[in-house]
């Protein structure tokens, strides 16, 4: 019997430690899953969906999903690339963004990628690093280490590193200078290849719930009043999900306009809507969007 057979509840493996834990738990809760906080140690039974959430090491998520111990998993794209596992990637989740950067000490004579030929490169992502430099035709000596990659040059372990960064400030703080990006990454939802076929319906439900939250996070709901004669001007400013809803108001000649807009566009839009005649503008969060 394989790990997938004879089991009714769907299983989702998620990180139990590290920087992906909080945003992952927040995403699952925002999606409407209900599970106890105290159960986070190992398995949390979801109360409103036939789903068990397995909290495992971020690095082990891929193995759990690959072996069929879990049907779905949430992990960093960088980790999937590193293992080379060919798991179906269902969705990028909009958090955990980072890049794998090649960097050298700030005072190093090495300036560009080509300068790294023949040097030692320390990294916790040896396979990705090897593949990257091989594809670039640059022969480097990859030194695999499991942590504290940024101190490797200071310890004399390597002349360069390949490490994960989000803003790059940690590199600067450690006296390092980035010279190239090896990979960009964010948290992703992956599936077991067999489960994705055999349990397509349930997996689709989970994926839809997550995608509805992710879509909503990037958008806001705008409500405003305006003179009906200004509708055309206002509509031109509001390229939302679809055309805005227009509702007549009790006051003759006045309308209410409701529209969904990109969250990043809101602050630019507000003054323009005002000058185009809108008043009483409300900006509301959206919980979920299912297109
Ligand atoms: P952690 O368990 O905290 O070491 O991080 C696990 C995953 O978080 C990494 O494999 C990346 O996918 C992601 N991540 C996002 N931003 C960063 C960052 N600045 N440094 C390291 N990992 C990051």
pTM: 0.90
What pairing do the DSSP bridges indicate for beta strands 141-144 and 120-123?
parallel
If one residue of 76, 184, 189 were mutated to test the ligand 1 pocket, choosing by the most ligand atoms within 8 A of its CB, it would be: 76
Decide: 19 in ligand 1 pocket, CB within 6 A. yes
Structure tokens at 249: 């108001």
261 in any annotated domain: yes
If one residue of 98, 125, 163, 171 were mutated to test the ligand 1 pocket, choosing by the most ligand atoms within 8 A of its CB, it would be: 98
| Contact predicate 101/162, CB 8 Å | yes
Whole-number Cα distances in Å, 92 to 192, 253, 290: 16, 45, 16
Helices (H) and strands (E) in the chain, counts: 9, 15
Pinpoint the alpha helices (H) of the chain: 21-30, 61-67, 77-83, 126-135, 169-173, 195-198, 200-217, 231-237, 266-275
Decide: 57 in ligand 1 pocket, CB within 6 A. no
Whole-number Cα distances in Å, 98 to 70, 129, 182, 289: 25, 16, 11, 26
Looking at residue 116, its pLDDT comes to 97
210 in any annotated domain: yes
160 and 109 share one domain:
yes
Looking at residue 291, its pLDDT comes to 83
157 and 272 share one domain:
no
Segments forming the whole domain that contains residue 138: 98-185
CATH number of the domain residue 83 falls in: 3.40.190.10
Residue nearest to atom 21 of ligand 1 (CA): 164
54 in any annotated domain: yes
198 and 61 share one domain:
yes
CATH number of the domain residue 250 falls in: 3.30.70.120
Q: What does each of the 291 residues of the chain score in pLDDT, given as a tens digit?
A: 455 555 789 999 999 999 999 999 999 999 999 998 765 668 999 999 999 999 999 989 999 999 999 999 999 999 999 999 999 999 999 999 999 999 999 999 999 999 999 999 999 999 999 999 999 999 999 999 998 999 999 999 999 999 999 988 889 999 999 999 999 999 999 999 999 999 999 999 999 999 999 999 999 999 999 999 999 999 999 876 567 899 999 999 999 999 999 999 999 999 999 999 999 999 999 999 998
Residue 193 DSSP class: T
pLDDT tens per residue across span 128-138: 999 999 999 99
Looking at residue 220, its pLDDT comes to 95
279 in any annotated domain: yes
181 and 192 share one domain:
no
Which atom number of ligand 1 is nearest to the Cα of residue 76?
12
Looking at residue 1, its pLDDT comes to 44
Residue nearest to atom 10 of ligand 1 (CA): 76
Q: Phi first, then psi: what are they for 199, rounded to 5°?
A: -120, 35
Q: In total, how many domains does the chain have?
A: 3
Task: Report the residue count for the chain.
Answer: 291
Say how far apart CA 164 and CA 147 lie, in whole Å: 11
118 and 195 share one domain:
no
Decide: 165 in ligand 1 pocket, CB within 6 A. yes
Kindly report each contact of residues 44-53 with a partner whose C-beta sits within 8 Å and lies 24 or more positions away, as own/partner.
45/9, 49/10, 49/205, 49/206, 50/8, 50/9, 50/10, 50/202, 51/9, 51/10, 51/11, 51/12, 51/202, 51/206, 52/9, 52/10, 52/11, 52/12, 53/11, 53/12, 53/14, 53/28
53 and 72 share one domain:
yes
Decide: 149 in ligand 1 pocket, CB within 6 A. no
208 and 89 share one domain:
yes
80 and 207 share one domain:
yes
Q: What phi-psi label fits residue 150: left (phi over 0), alpha (psi between -120 and 50 degrees) or beta?
A: alpha
Looking at residue 223, its pLDDT comes to 97
Residue nearest to atom 3 of ligand 1 (CA): 18
- The distance of Cα 217 from the centroid of its chain, to the nearest Å, equals 12
Decide: 96 in ligand 1 pocket, CB within 6 A. yes
130 and 65 share one domain:
no
What pairing do the DSSP bridges indicate for beta strands 51-56 and 10-15?
parallel
Q: Phi first, then psi: what are they for 164, rounded to 5°?
A: -80, 135
38 and 79 share one domain:
yes
123 in any annotated domain: yes
58 CA to centre of ligand 1 in angstroms:
9
């Amino acid at each position: 019997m394989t790990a997938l057979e004879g089991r009714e509840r769907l299983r989702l493996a998620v990180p139990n430690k590290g920087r992906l834990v909080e945003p992952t738990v927040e995403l699952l809760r925002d999606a409407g899953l209900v599970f106890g906080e105290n159960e986070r140690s190992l398995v949390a039974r979801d109360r409103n969906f036939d789903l068990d959430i397995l909290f495992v090491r971020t690095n082990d998520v891929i193995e759990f999903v690959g072996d069929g111990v879990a049907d779905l998993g949430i992990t960093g794209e960088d980790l999937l690339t590193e293992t080379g596992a060919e798991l179906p990637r269902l969705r990028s989740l909009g958090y955990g963004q980072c890049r794998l950067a090649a960097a050298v000490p700030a005072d190093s004579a090495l300036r560009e990628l080509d300068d790294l030929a023949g040097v030692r490169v320390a990294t916790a992502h040896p396979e990705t690093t090897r593949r990257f430099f091989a594809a670039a035709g640059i022969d480097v000596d990859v030194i695999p280490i499991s942590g504290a990659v940024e101190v490797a040059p200071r310890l004399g372990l390597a002349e360069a590193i390949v490490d994960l960064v989000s803003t790059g400030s940690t590199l600067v703080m450690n006296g390092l200078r980035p010279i190239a990006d090896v990979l960009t990454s964010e948290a992703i939802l992956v599936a077991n290849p067999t489960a994705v076929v055999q349990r397509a319906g349930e997996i689709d439900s989970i994926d839809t719930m997550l995608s509805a939250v992710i879509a909503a996070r990037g958008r806001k709901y705008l409500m405003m009043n305006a003179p009906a004669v200004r509708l055309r001007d206002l509509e031109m400013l509001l390229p939302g999900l679809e055309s805005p809803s227009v509702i007549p108001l009790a006051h003759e000649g006045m309308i209410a306009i409701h529209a969904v807009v990109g969250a990043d566009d809101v602050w630019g839009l507000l003054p323009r809507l005002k000058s185009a005649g809108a008043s009483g503008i409300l900006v509301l969060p959206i919980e979920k969007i299912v297109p």
